[in-house]
A = this chain, B = another copy of it.
Amino acid sequence: MAGDGEIVKIGLLGRGTVGGAFADLVAERADAIATLTGKRPQVSGVLTSSTGDYDEILADADVIVELIGGLEPARDYVARALAAGKPVISANKALISTYGEQLFAASDDSGAPLLFEAAVAGVIPAIRVIEESLAGAHIDRVHGIVNGTTNYILTEMARNGLSYAEALGQAQALGYAEADPTADVGGGDAAAKMAILARLAFGVDVTLDQVTYEGIENITAADIAYAREFDLVLKLVGTAERINGGVSVRVFPAFLYPSHPLASVHGSFNAVTVESPSITEITMSGPGAGGIQTASAVLGDLVSILNDTPRVRGDGAPVEIVKDVESAFYLHLEVEDRPGVLAEIASALGDQDVSVRNFAQRTESAEGGSGQGTDEAARLVMVTHRTLESKFSAAVDQIAELSFVKAEPRVIRVIEEEFVD
């Protein structure tokens, strides 16, 4: 069955977990790929931190696969390969989200494609679907769970009542989180991926430094437990959306109602939902990490290159970044249980035109301090209707100043389902 196929030589930069899995996968699938495309991929050179010479590898290769990560020397290597007219595949979200514009220009200049499906959402073909299936559609919004580590931690906190620290420790023990988990849990990794998705979905020039983001380090098991009263599920959600001619790209811990397509994405899985008037919405989900999965996404890009599949990527036009966006909010207050409290809170919200959608109050003996307290305390939990973030923040600042408010108000965004099935 397998045609011999013209040999296509791959220069592989990096031979860690993903690089090793990719080399194995190329060997295993070379026959099938030769049958499909008439071309037989073969790893011709490998660059690691201790072995190989990039100039020699580049001179010999037909395609460069960059799996070393980080900004330099990855940027230099990729730029030189593109300048030499050699197609490049990268799984490096930091590189693409930071130097995308420069590298796309280099790709346009020489005509050598730059593909990076593996940089965004693991095995989920989000880039291909946006660039090809939806090339003719007007995309309004993209929501994504694009970091498997944080989704694993939040899932464990919700399922098993673990604290953030316990769930993080478990993720580290299982290899889902690194010893220094900052990039994952701080939201920076997800922010880089959302910058890439925003650029592709809207055809605008968005870079990582224009993404507002927040991580999950301050989420407590209590936040997750209390929100169950409203049937809410907590996820770290990236959102890219068009707003009044500009765009907003942001990553925040957010509550979802169970009917939202991202609410049932558990464990280390990733998912991306794309919304457009002509499609309603498409959601794609799959494993977000793992050497073999990332290698498989790289292999998909390789087949595209062997097959000369063109991309219809638009130019990255300049765009206004909108910072003050509308959202619904979850607000959790601990207050003294005395008359007039609710009226003052309602008044502060009303002053900023914030209206409440759901509200619950629980009165309980205060457990504060060393347990000596006997004061009655009340816990007020509410979800607002959509409101401008600036107005909600102003209302919360005012509430925080009220004398009967006993702890810092806890605020988490709520994403409402736009479409109902």
Contacts and interface: CB of A to CB of B under 8 A. Distances in A.
| Contact count band on A | 35 or more
B137 A133 contact: no
Contact of A278 (B135, B268, B292): B292
A267 interface: yes
Interface in A263-284: 264, 266-269, 276-284
A171 to B, nearest CB: 13
Contacts of A282: 123-125, 284-286
Contacts of A269: 421
A299 interface: yes
A407 interface: no
A13 interface: no
Interface stretch (A212-220, A302-310, A353-361, A396-404): A302-310
Tallying the copies of this chain within the complex gives 2
Interface stretch (A32-40, A59-67, A236-244, A330-338): A32-40
A303 B312 contact: yes
Contact of A312 (B125, B135, B307): B307
Nearest to A266: B421
Given A280-B287, A296-B278, A29 B136 contact: yes
Which of A25, A283, A295, A302 gathers the greatest number of chain B CB atoms within 10 Å? A283
A314 interface: yes
A137 B312 contact: no
Contacts of A302: 136
Contacts of A421: 155, 266-269, 287
A314 B285 CA distance: 26
B136 A132 contact: no
B287 A284 contact: no
A135 B293 contact: no
Contacts of A280: 123, 286-287, 290, 293
Contacts of A284: 282-285
B303 A278 contact: no
Interface in A106-161: 117, 123-125, 128-129, 132-138, 155
Interface in A7-50: 25, 29, 32-33, 35-37
A5 interface: no
A134 B279 contact: no
B300 A135 contact: yes
A284 to B, nearest CB: 5
Contact of A299 (B36, B136, B292): B136
Contacts of A137: 29, 296, 299-300
Nearest to A1: B317
A128 B314 CA distance: 20
Contacts of A187: none
A261 interface: yes
15 contacts: A25-B136, A29-B138, A33-B135, A36-B312, A36-B314, A37-B312, A132-B309, A136-B303, A264-B264, A267-B420, A278-B292, A278-B293, A278-B295, A280-B290, A308-B310
Given A132-B309, A133-B300, A284-B284, 18 more contacts: A35-B314, A125-B282, A128-B129, A132-B300, A132-B303, A136-B296, A136-B302, A261-B285, A268-B421, A269-B421, A278-B292, A278-B296, A278-B299, A279-B287, A282-B284, A283-B284, A283-B285, A303-B312
